[in-house]
Amino acid sequence: MIYLLLLPAFIMLILSFWNLEKSKFVLPVTSLLILYPSIRLFFLPKPYKIWGEYLVADDLSAYIMLVSSIVAISVTLAVSTLGLHVKISNNAYAKFYRFFALFWIGLTLSIVANNMGIYWIGLETATLSTVYMIKTNSTVMARKEAWNYMIVGAIAISLILFGIILIYASAKPILGERAMDFSALLLNAKHIKSPFLFEIGFAITTLGMFIKMGFFPMNLWLANIERASFYPVAALFSGILESAVMIGFFRFSKIASIVNSAHVFIFVFIYTILTIFIVSFLIYRAKDFMRLFSLSGVEHMALIALFWASGGVFAALLHFGAHAFLKPALFLSTGILESRGKYRIAGALRGYSGIKGKVFYFLTGLFLLAIVSAPPSPMFFSELYGFASMVELAKTNKHLLLMIGAIILLLILLSIIFYRFIEIYQSMKYEGVEKKKVVYGNEVLALIIFSISLIALLTPWSFEFLRSIS
Amino acid sequence: MTSLLIGLFLATLIVALFTMRLYRLILWYSLNSLTLALLAITIGVNIDDSAMIISGFLTLVLKAFLIPYILKRVSIRFDLSRQIEPNIPVHYSVILVPALLVFTFYLSEPITNMISSNTNDVAISISALFLSLLLMMEHKNIAPKIIGFLTIENSLFLLGTTATNGMPMLIELGIFFDLLMAIVIVNLLFGHDDEEIAQ
């Protein structure tokens, strides 16, 4: 199974050294190979040992693996026409694929890791490979942001390792070397003799993860990096890298909740509300698509973390899936939306002709409305269920009024974001000058894959599966 | 012996904070890694842990010799500025560094109280982590920031060694692999026309 999971990435790595003009069109087909192990993993009895105790698939990792595979396939599909939208040399193109392959290997390891150390190694590999992917854009800004990412990413990843060492130190007296395993920690969390040490470790690890996702107070670095890099890098960031970070948060917080659920909730609650508070105003002032989508991604990640910490596992996972499909779809659309310049929002949804153009226009419009939770977007349902889980949690600890106050504040902040998105949508559709824009078949196909995946997410079968993940 | 090596580890890091020349900084990083390697080998021999002894030797080869050598080659190849003026003047750093040391000892007290053995060593590891962050923050140039990142990694290795008597071998090897990949990426980032940014 491990070979099958890593095979498409290895093929991509090898092909990146060959004639790019030919391999560029083979790569989307090879990326399809990931579907087989991902779907197989989905139906195998869980927990399924992929590689001893180190890599073990459970329902959560199988779900995230499938979501990430779909994103990877669609991004590979859209990347083949990247050169038609932006100026990129063949050498940079080949390097992009090379580091995309390494990124994919790292993230696959992180997603199916049952070991904190392997999770970290995968995440570090992915982080480092992204640094060079940012630099494939040859502008001075991209190169500066690649260095910035190297520094901020290094600090974030070091904090995660620092926390992991403390968690390991807290559990080693009772578990020995198995204190590195998520499954062993989950089973024995109650018996940890130094819960305070574990909690410090969890807080530091979570801090590192939150920095990587652009949470408070590091709200702008991710948006700057995504603005500076080519749009598929932003799609990979939001669709796969953040998913891998989030699965780590899910796993660590699940164990930490057994140690002390109240501490986990308060920590995540304060952090995420502060993040959404800042981000909503930043979104209100966003003047280009990349920053808009990037900041919106931070907002959604904060909501996922909040729903998860409130016990709304179903809501968090539904929101997670919807975000993983919607955000890369929107980032991939920016290649076309910004074809007349970065800050030309007015009229960006006008000038599409032919079947491909009309499908693009229709799907992008829908995605824009879906990302602000307009029904029947999966985000509409996930937010309803998420807020319900927050109320349910408050009922058990007699803080109902406080929680209702927090929900009202959140709704006000989400309304600001909703208002801004609708304003932009109307400007894209009804303002500006109509100029003809070119849409390519593979890009439309990538958007169709995302929309089918979103519809699949809304089926009763998907809801039932997500509810079964505890 | 262990206490002496940990003392030297901290001393090399403190001297690195006051260094204003790039090659000197690389040298202090190399010595910092050397003390770390000797420490891992010593602890490994004391507790009869072959995995830690192997980690120690890998640290010696990779961090004490190979990485400093590559960094020096990179700095020559891309003609990096050898004058690395810190943002914080040295006369302020003289006060700041001991204050940070005392503060981190105080801050890490709840953590060290939970760890049965090597409590001072764990506190020093956490102090080293903060000092490495300071090294990263106090420089405008990219090269010292990279060395700051590498010393953070050294501090985490020290923490892993002192707080947990070493991480599992597979994880240590993975961390070494990632470190080498980081050096490759740094080399690639410096490539071509990046000198003006690096300065």
The per-residue pLDDT for range A211-270, each reduced to its tens digit, is: 988 888 887 888 888 888 888 888 888 888 888 899 999 999 999 999 988 899 999 999
Per-residue pLDDT at B192: 60
* Per-residue confidence band for A97, with pLDDT thresholds at 50, 70 and 90: confident
Q: Residue B152 and residue A135: Cβ atoms within 8 Å?
A: no
Residues of A in contact with B152 (CB under 8 A): 154-155, 158
Q: Give the residue on B whose Cα is nearest the Cα of A146.
A: B189
Give the residue-averaged pLDDT of A116-125: 91
A342 vs B46, residue with greater confidence: B46
Q: Which residues contact A45 (CB under 8 A, 6 or more apart)?
A: none
* Per-residue confidence band for B162, with pLDDT thresholds at 50, 70 and 90: confident
Q: Residue B182 and residue A147: Cβ atoms within 8 Å?
A: no
Chain B residues interacting with chain A (CB cutoff of 8 angstroms): 110-111, 114-116, 129, 133, 136, 142, 145, 149, 152-153, 156, 159-160, 163-164, 167-168, 170-171, 174-175, 177-178, 181-182, 185-186, 188-189, 194, 197
Q: Give the residue on A whose Cα is nearest the Cα of B184.
A: A128
Residue A215 CA to residue A271 CA, distance in Å, equals 8
Residues of B in contact with A177 (CB under 8 A): 168
Q: Residue B167 and residue A151: Cβ atoms within 8 Å?
A: no
Per-residue pLDDT at B195: 45
Chain A contact probe: residue of B78, B119, B181 with most A CBs at under 10 A: B181
Residue reference for tokens 């580890």: B9
Residue A301 CA to residue A382 CA, distance in Å, equals 13
Q: Residue A131 and residue B189: Cβ atoms within 8 Å?
A: yes
Per-residue pLDDT at A60: 92
Chain B contact probe: residue of A98, A116, A166, A205 with most B CBs at under 10 A: A166
Give the residue-averaged pLDDT of A105-130: 91
Amino acid, res. A468: S
Q: Is the ipTM of this complex over 0.95?
A: no
Residues of A in contact with B182 (CB under 8 A): 128, 154
pLDDT digits (tens, 9 = 90+) for B177-193: 777 778 887 877 777 65
Per-residue pLDDT at A391: 92
CA distance A279 to chain B (A): 25
Is it the case that residue B196 has pLDDT exceeding 70?
no
Q: Which residues contact B184 (CB under 8 A, 6 or more apart)?
A: none
Per-residue pLDDT at B145: 87
Per-residue pLDDT at B183: 82
Is it the case that residue B130 has pLDDT exceeding 50?
yes
Per-residue pLDDT at B140: 82
Is it the case that residue A66 has pLDDT exceeding 80?
yes
Q: How far is CA A227 from CA A25, A90, A240, A368, in A?
A: 27, 22, 18, 18
Residue A422 CA to residue A424 CA, distance in Å, equals 5
Give the residue-averaged pLDDT of A308-317: 93
Q: Residue A121 and residue B194: Cβ atoms within 8 Å?
A: no
Q: Give the residue on A whose Cα is nearest the Cα of B161.
A: A165
Residue A136 touches partner B, C-beta closer than 8 Å: no
Per-residue pLDDT at B138: 85
Q: Residue B168 and residue A180: Cβ atoms within 8 Å?
A: yes
Per-residue pLDDT at A381: 93
Q: Residue A165 and residue B167: Cβ atoms within 8 Å?
A: yes
Give helix then strand counts, H and E, for chain B.
10, 0
Residue B121 CA to residue A397 CA, distance in Å, equals 41
Contact A155, B135 (CB under 8 A): no
pLDDT digits (tens, 9 = 90+) for B2-33: 888 888 998 999 998 888 888 999 999 999 99
Is it the case that residue B198 has pLDDT exceeding 70?
no
Give the residue-averaged pLDDT of B159-165: 82
Q: If DSSP codes are grouped into helix, strand and coil, which group holds residue A51?
A: strand
The neighbouring-strand residues paired with A49 are: A56
pLDDT digits (tens, 9 = 90+) for A339-350: 777 777 888 888
CA distance B175 to chain A (A): 6
* Per-residue confidence band for A149, with pLDDT thresholds at 50, 70 and 90: confident
Q: Which of B92-106, B163-177, B183-197 has the highest mean pLDDT?
A: B92-106
Per-residue pLDDT at A414: 93
CA distance A124 to chain B (A): 7
Residue A105 CA to residue A13 CA, distance in Å, equals 10
Contact A27, A80 (CB under 8 A): yes
CA distance A218 to chain B (A): 15
Residues of A in contact with B112 (CB under 8 A): none
* Per-residue confidence band for B63, with pLDDT thresholds at 50, 70 and 90: confident
Residue A41 CA to residue A53 CA, distance in Å, equals 16
Give the residue-averaged pLDDT of B134-151: 86
Q: Give the residue on B whose Cα is nearest the Cα of A195.
A: B114
Tell me the pLDDT of chain A averaged across its residues.
Answer: 88
Select the residue of A140, A165, A180 nearest B159 (Cβ to Cβ).
Answer: A165
Q: Residue A125 and residue B181: Cβ atoms within 8 Å?
A: yes
Contact A106, A124 (CB under 8 A): yes
Residues of B in contact with A162 (CB under 8 A): 129, 156, 159
Residues of B in contact with A172 (CB under 8 A): 164
Q: Residue A180 and residue B164: Cβ atoms within 8 Å?
A: no
- Taking one residue from A and the other from B, the number of pairs with CB-CB distance under 8 angstroms is 99
Of A71-75, A181-185, B111-115, B144-148, the poorest mean pLDDT is in B111-115
Percentage with pLDDT > 90 across chain A: 40
* Per-residue confidence band for B199, with pLDDT thresholds at 50, 70 and 90: very low
Q: Is A419 exposed, middle or buried (0-12, 13-18, 19+ CB in 10 A)?
A: middle
DSSP A375-394: TTSHHHHHHHHHHHHHHHHH
Q: Residue A169 and residue B163: Cβ atoms within 8 Å?
A: yes
Select the residue of A115, A132, A162 nearest B188 (Cβ to Cβ).
Answer: A132
Residue A162 touches partner B, C-beta closer than 8 Å: yes
